[in-house]
Structure 1
Amino acid sequence: MNKRLTRISKYLTFVLRHHPESIGMQLEPYGWLNVEQLVENANAHGKSITVERVHEVIAAQETPLFELSDDQQRIRAL
Structure 2
Amino acid sequence: MNKRLTKISKYLAFILRHEPQSIGLKLDAEGYLNVDELVGKSNATGKSITREQVQQVVAGHEPPIFALSEDGSRIRAV
Fold shared per TM-score above 0.5:
yes
Partner of 2:3: 3
Structure 1 segments unaligned to the other structure (5+ residues): none
Q: What is the letter of the counterpart of residue 64 of structure 1?
A: P
Q: Which of the two has greater helix per residue?
A: 1
| Secondary structure in 1 matching 2:62 | coil
Q: What is the letter of the counterpart of residue 4 of structure 1?
A: R
How many residues were matched structurally? 78
Is the aligned partner of 1:72 residue 2:72? yes
Determine what percentage of the aligned residue pairs are the same residue.
Answer: 60
1:14-37 Cα deviation digits (max 9, x unpaired): 000000001000110111000000
Structure 2 segments unaligned to the other structure (5+ residues): none
Q: What is the letter of the counterpart of residue 70 of structure 1?
A: E
Structure 1 outlier segments of 4+, above 4 Å: none
Provide the C-alpha distance between the structure 2 equivalents of 1:62 and 1:10, rounded to a whole number of angstroms: 15
Partner of 1:47: 47
